[in-house]
Amino acid sequence: MQTSQTLNGKTALVTGGAARLGAAIVRRLHAAGASVVIHYRRSADKAERLRDDLLAQRPDSASIVQGDLIDPAVWTRLIEETIAFGGGLDILINNASSYYPTPLGEATTEHWDDLFGSNARAPFFLAQAAVPALRERGGCIVNLVDIHAERPNPKHPVYCMAKAANAMMVKSLALELAPEVRVNGVAPGAALWPDDYPADDEKRAILERIPMGQPAGAEQIAEAVMCFAAGPAYVTGQILAVDGGRSVQQ
């Protein structure tokens, strides 16, 4: 995918941008010239350190905003604060996500509300709040989906269903918002191990199902997001699997 690889003069909002994949995405967009707004829920220290690091590289190029995306009052505020910082909004990255098992028989309505809230409801309504600003500047939305939106992950039915809704959101919003706003998605497979991930034998079992034989790493996911953020201008409604071939493995 050929892109201009420059985001000079553009402003990006990255939800869940303080750590892990979100932080890598923030750094990649910033390195391409974008001004970045780093959303976080609880990771204030990480968000502040990342902001300060980016400001040291380029003054007035990074800001932070706190909010629990389950709270409807937060969606419009995030967009308003981003516009106040950057003078507009060009790129919305819906990265923030809850993830944990909900085995059948143990799932609760609280699990449902949380997983659908972070993975489907919040990205949709945040996008809706951002549409006027994105249309004004010919912007784009990139959702972080998951290969398990199509291939269910055992013991995670609610999460997988929520990510399936997220994937359909990419296609639906691409149709609704064309031609002014492009909407695409990146679907990671194994990228970074969770901090509390179980024993090495389970990691080996996962890696055996990946033709490339290793996790993606955060930088590979960030690079895929960058491809959509920077163009090409004719691509919309697409979801790119960054999974080392896992989605084509039998």
- Residues known to be catalytic: 159
The answer for 103, left when phi > 0, alpha when psi is -120 to 50, beta otherwise, is beta
Q: Is the dihedral of CA 213, 218, 220, 225 positive or negative?
A: positive
Contact present, 143 and 166 (Cβ < 8 Å): yes
The tally of CA atoms less than 13 A away on the side-chain side of residue 26 is 32
Cα 240 from Cα 163, distance rounded (Å): 14
Percentages helix, strand, coil for the chain (3-state, rounded to 5) are: 45, 15, 40
Cα 229 from Cα 73, distance rounded (Å): 27
Judging by beta carbons within 10 Å of its beta carbon (0-12, 13-18, 19+), is residue 175 exposed, middle or buried?
exposed
How wide is the angle at C-alpha 129 spanned by C-alphas 123 and 133, nearest 5°? 120
Per DSSP, the residues of 33-80 read T-EEEEEESS-HHHHHHHHHHHHHHSTT-EEEEE--TTSHHHHHHHHH
Cα 21 from Cα 95, distance rounded (Å): 8
Q: Which residue has the tokens 């784009």?
A: 140
